[in-house]
Amino acid sequence: MITFIRHLIAAPVRLLAWANSFLHVFDQARLAEVIWFLTGEAADGASVIVLAARGRGLDAARQRAEAIFARRPDEEVAAAIGWMEASEGHNLTAAAQWIERCRQAGCEDGPSLLQLELSLSEHLADYDYPELIERILSRNDLPGNITRDALLGKAKLLLRDRQWGRAQEIAERILAIEDHAVARWVGWVTAIAAGDDEAARTHYAQAAAGLRPEVFLGYEALGWLYAGDEDKAAEVLSSRTPDGKQAVFVDRDLADFVRSGHTDIESGGDHE
């Protein structure tokens, strides 16, 4: 009953916040704080953290995260500050620490936490990436986008092992539902392996259209790496986007390739 009353009181403020997203009359962060104060809901606390990071900087977001998590230890709160640590602070270790902290507090192992963990596991060696993928795919209670991302992760592992047919099956399964850029990338790599130039051109163009240029450069280099052409991978990594950006290191395989000395690109490239 108390929760219902809290949400009832917060409803007009939510409506005002929605209208303000178009009108920009009030401080959106302050409205989010009011809603969080009234409801105590994890999703509302997460919104406060994100708006604090974007409006007042990462230190402010960290302070709000500490206070909000103390009141409501929840996976959505931990994931919100984790994503801010990764995207705004480029500190993947700090993001991973929030996942561990949330689990130690007994948080639900839900979609927000798993999506962050899946993203981090592509870059941090502390994670067992294949095990995490299988753990996600073994569940039937997660949103479709998380299952899709885990399937794409599995496809990448299959490409690395040169199991072209199985990787292509996953790409086709996803593309039958949506035209996803990374699934197109998987299709491009398998088409290269099969010597199907026409399919390779189609998948390449559509993958490039769906990704930021610097991210696509990273995927292109990784594709050549998986296809066994290290010279071509190094050539792609040495190129730049039209606005001068270098390739994003889209996963640890690409970062390891750079660190191994196969190319003269700096080994501190941004993560995706």
Complete domains list, the chain, with CATH? 1-106+113-121 (1.25.40.10)
Residue with tokens 């067992």: 128
Amino acid at 219: Y
CA distance readout (Å), 42 to 39, 68, 77, 98, 196: 9, 8, 6, 15, 49
CB neighbour list of residue 3: distance below 8 Å, 6 or more residues apart: none
d(CA 20, CA 32): 11
Predicted confidence at residue 265, as pLDDT, reads 59
Tokens of 104: 């130690």
Tokens of 152: 């794409």
Q: What is the share, in percent, of the chain residues with pLDDT greater than 70?
A: 86
Confidence of residue 161 (pLDDT cuts 50, 70, 90): very high
Confidence of residue 47 (pLDDT cuts 50, 70, 90): very high
Average pLDDT rounded to a whole number, residues 154-160: 97
Average pLDDT rounded to a whole number, residues 56-73: 96
Q: What are phi and psi of 195, to 5 degrees?
A: 75, 20
d(CA 245, CA 240): 5
Confidence of residue 264 (pLDDT cuts 50, 70, 90): low
Strand, coil or helix: 271: strand
d(CA 85, CA 1): 36
Tokens of 197: 């130039």
Neighbours of 224 (CB within 10 A): 20
Q: Is 263 within 8 Å of 238 (Cβ atoms)?
A: yes
Average pLDDT rounded to a whole number, residues 30-48: 89
- pLDDT surpasses 50 at 10: no
d(CA 73, CA 69): 5
Average pLDDT rounded to a whole number, residues 237-256: 93
Q: What DSSP element (H or E) covers 200?
A: helix 197-210
Predicted confidence at residue 35, as pLDDT, reads 85
Confidence of residue 11 (pLDDT cuts 50, 70, 90): very low
Predicted confidence at residue 15, as pLDDT, reads 47
Mean pLDDT of the chain, nearest integer: 88
Predicted confidence at residue 37, as pLDDT, reads 85
- pLDDT surpasses 80 at 186: yes
Q: Is 179 within 8 Å of 206 (Cβ atoms)?
A: yes
Predicted confidence at residue 263, as pLDDT, reads 61
- pLDDT surpasses 60 at 256: yes
Q: Which of 12-26, 53-67, 116-130 has the lowest mean pLDDT?
A: 12-26
Confidence of residue 1 (pLDDT cuts 50, 70, 90): very low
Burial class (CB in 10 A: 0-12, 13-18, 19+), 135: middle
- pLDDT surpasses 60 at 135: yes
